[in-house]
Chain A
Amino acid sequence: MSDLASRRRLRSTRSAAGGFLFTLPAVVLLAIFLVYPVFATIRLSLDTGIFLQLQKFVGLDNYKRLFSDRYFLSLNGVPSGALVNNALWLTLYVGGCVGIGLVIAVLADKVRYERSIKVVLFAPLSIAATATGLIWLLMYAPNPNISVINGLLSEFGLGPVGFLGSPGIVNFALIVAAIWGGCGLAVVVLSAGVKSIPREILEAARIDGVSAFQEFRLIVLPMMIGPLTVVTVTLLVAAVKTFDIVFVMTRGGPNGASSVIGYVFYDQVFQRGRGGYGASAAVLMLVLVLPIMIFSIRQFRLEESRR
């Protein structure tokens, strides 16, 4: 009797430990490559950190330098610098993707060739940002025989516009290219959202004589809050991390005009060997995604408590 009970107890502790053992390989890898590095990188950002090695503790000096670096943040005249450019990415890239995604998801739902439309918009999502960058280098070439945009402008006697060479345009040009590449995500998720709206509700509204716009505003939009939030959050994180397309198309140029935090980090750490200074840029990226982190954890706890 007691033998059986102790065996049972043994079994239950073993299964409790067993459950944890399944997560162990992942926990070890995450601890080494993500959890510990968060602290190590914060520590590095408080150091001169030349060539990635801790050298001399300098407190918040790197952050002070970062915010007084005119390539990072300049508020003289028109605000500029990597941080301002990231703000453009956060608003225009995310807004553009979500806006276009929503319009396409709703409109495509009404036609029979919906699948073809979606394939065309998804496809760029599967290719490398490097390829997207190359494709758009051609679109933005100053030569009106190579760039279809400058070709069209020259038909009207305008241009050629050096999209990537002019500091006032380059960020918008990069963001347009990125929207072309990334909008598919919004289309996929929002389209799934549109499909989940019960058809009967839409039918009923139509019978009641609701206009297409009212239908969108009063029925579709409120029922899409969930998918819209998820897409926005995902794209915001992507916008904070922007790197590839900037690296490929402009290397942050001309003269730093299109730099972003992710590029500052890469450039400072891996091209200039300023580990401490670059680390402060990485920490700033973490700070920017912190609200999203808190939001995701809250969502999870909410879902758990509903179970």
Chain B
Amino acid sequence: MQTPAQANNAEAPATANRERPPAARVALHAALILVVVLWLLPSVGVLITSVRTPTDISSSGWWTVLAHPNFTLDNYRAVIDAPGFWRTLLNSFIITIPAVIAPILIASLAAYGFACTKFPGRNVLFMIVIALMVVPIQMGFVPALHFFRALSIGSGYGAIWIAHTAYALPFAIFLLRSFFAQLPREILDAASVDGASKLRTYWSIVLPLSRPALASLAVLQFLWVWNDLLMALVFIQKDELEPLTQTTAQLIGNYAQQFNLLSASAVILMVVPLVVFLALQKHFVRGLVAGAVK
């Protein structure tokens, strides 16, 4: 006797959903699919253009490619064989990796100080951190250049590592502090009762428990630094140290109307971030939402 009633109950949400007129459902799907197509169109266009010959590109649209398929990898070969390409790619990694690790380490220490310890002036100091989150980094460039010149660390990667680290701190501290503040107090208290020093609690309890937040931050910071153009323009003083974004932006002048090479360069520039995004999407999204909602 109970079974039909239960089944009915379970179906309730579905029927509520189906109450909408079928025309509305069709319109809904049509609108969503249209948006997806519009959003894919630019990238698909670049991807197809990047594997076509210059003659094909200028004589027929990429959207007609299925009518007379003719693909080539020459554009990629030309971009990769250009002098300095591999060095530039390496530069992007050399700039990015320390500029991800250093701010996370320094910010996690500070966030621990703000979330798990008490000291006079703590809240005022944290309010300054919040204020600094929205300060345009442009305000920092000229004084930073003076500072680097005074210490003569302007010529290597040092300047851009330090600058990326410093400018990443406000957001990183903010994100990690809100995560640390939610860790169960009992665990931290238990550690302190057991005689663990604050530093030890931070290293062997707080950090391991915060892996999800640290991973989200690492993904966001990786993409931020990898994709950065402005800071490279300002803080990289030697051509042979330039990252991929910077050299690609300059190609636009050099290659002008050579859309075969421009599109291949664009695809190469997107590969690493897209792989990181697709592999670590969960962390990326979680970081954005936490950073925004908190």
Contacts and interface: CB of A to CB of B under 8 A. Distances in A.
Nearest to A49: B142
A103 to B, nearest CB: 8
A231 B292 contact: yes
Contacts of A121: 35-36, 39
B215 interface: no
A23 B125 contact: yes
A126 B39 CA distance: 14
A145 B284 CA distance: 37
A36 interface: yes
Contacts of A262: 136, 138
Contact of B227 (A27, A44, A129, A241): A129
Interface string A205-231: 011000010000000000000110011
Given A111-B29, A128-B269, A248-B229, A146 B144 contact: no
B138 A38 contact: no
A18 B58 contact: no
A226 B292 CA distance: 10
Contact of B288 (A35, A180, A188, A282): A188
B57 A41 contact: no
A88 interface: no
B292 A146 contact: no
B5 interface: no
Contacts of B276: 126
A145 B61 contact: yes
Given A23-B109, A148-B61, A270-B234, A127 B227 contact: yes
A41 B139 contact: yes
A116 B281 contact: no
A301 B62 CA distance: 55
A26 B109 contact: yes
Interface in A264-286: 265-266, 269-270, 275, 279, 281-283, 285-286
B142 A139 contact: no
A167 B241 CA distance: 36
A286 B263 CA distance: 36
A126 B32 contact: no
B160 interface: no
Contacts of A240: 136
Contacts of A133: 249, 252
B106 A25 contact: yes
Given A122-B281, A188-B288, A189-B293, A131 B270 contact: yes
Interface string B131-148: 111111111111111110
B60 interface: yes
Interface of B is mostly: helix
A41 B143 contact: yes
Interface residues of A, number: 104
Interface of A is mostly: helix
Interface of A: 15-23, 25-27, 29-30, 32-38, 40-41, 44, 52, 100, 104, 107-108, 110-111, 113, 116-117, 119-131, 133-139, 141, 143-146, 148, 151, 180, 185, 188-189, 192-193, 199, 203, 206-207, 212, 226-227, 230-231, 234, 237, 240-241, 243-244, 247-248, 262, 265-266, 269-270, 275, 279, 281-283, 285-286, 289, 292-293, 296-297, 300-301, 304
Interface of B: 12-13, 16-17, 19-20, 24, 28-29, 31-32, 35-36, 39-43, 45-46, 49, 57-63, 106-107, 109-110, 112-114, 117-123, 125-147, 162-163, 165-167, 169-170, 173, 198, 202, 223, 226-230, 233-234, 245, 248-249, 252, 259, 262-263, 265-266, 269-270, 273-274, 276-278, 281, 284-285, 288-289, 292-293
Give 3 nearest A-B pairs by CB, closest first.
A19-B117, A22-B113, A128-B227
25 contacts: A22-B202, A27-B110, A32-B147, A34-B167, A37-B140, A38-B135, A104-B35, A107-B32, A108-B32, A127-B227, A128-B229, A131-B248, A134-B265, A146-B61, A148-B62, A151-B61, A180-B42, A234-B292, A241-B137, A248-B252, A286-B135, A286-B139, A289-B134, A300-B126, A300-B130
Given A27-B110, A38-B139, A117-B35, 12 more contacts: A117-B32, A122-B285, A126-B273, A130-B249, A133-B249, A151-B61, A226-B293, A241-B136, A247-B229, A262-B138, A270-B234, A293-B134
